[in-house]
């Protein structure tokens, strides 16, 4: 595998890992917030939940693209 292809694959994997950690962090924050009494402004919680759904969808899309890119790189590099 060439250095540039390896660096690209590694960078994509790291980006995917960072995105996964960010989504996990947001999910834990939402779970913790749902355990507390309802705030005066319930819209904040709903906005956070909507953002969580959007991030999950983005996470799934990025994961699919990452897997596709890694498969193509392996195919090109004969791995």
Torsion sign (Cα): 71, 57, 48, 30 = negative
Which structural domain, as residue segments, surrounds residue 47?
A: 3-77
Spatial distance between the Cα atoms of 64 and 74, rounded to a whole number of angstroms: 15
Torsion sign (Cα): 74, 77, 78, 79 = negative
Q: What is the pTM of this model?
A: 0.47
Number of domains present in the structure of the chain: 1
Q: What digits encode the pLDDT tens for the residues 41-52? A: 567 888 888 899
* 59 in Cβ contact with 23 (< 8 Å): yes
Q: What digits encode the pLDDT tens for the residues 43-78? A: 788 888 889 999 989 999 998 998 888 888 888 888
Q: What digits encode the pLDDT tens for the residues 29-43? A: 888 777 766 556 567
What pLDDT does 13 receive? Answer: 81
């Amino acid at each position: 595998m060439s250095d540039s292809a390896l660096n690209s694959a590694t960078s994509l994997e790291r980006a995917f890992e960072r995105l996964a950690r960010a989504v996990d962090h947001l999910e834990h924050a939402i779970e913790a917030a749902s355990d507390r009494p309802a705030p005066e402004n319930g819209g904040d919680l709903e906005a956070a939940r909507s953002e969580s759904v959007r991030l999950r969808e983005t996470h799934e899309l990025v994961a699919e693209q990452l897997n596709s890119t890694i498969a193509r790189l392996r195919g090109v590099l004969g791995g």
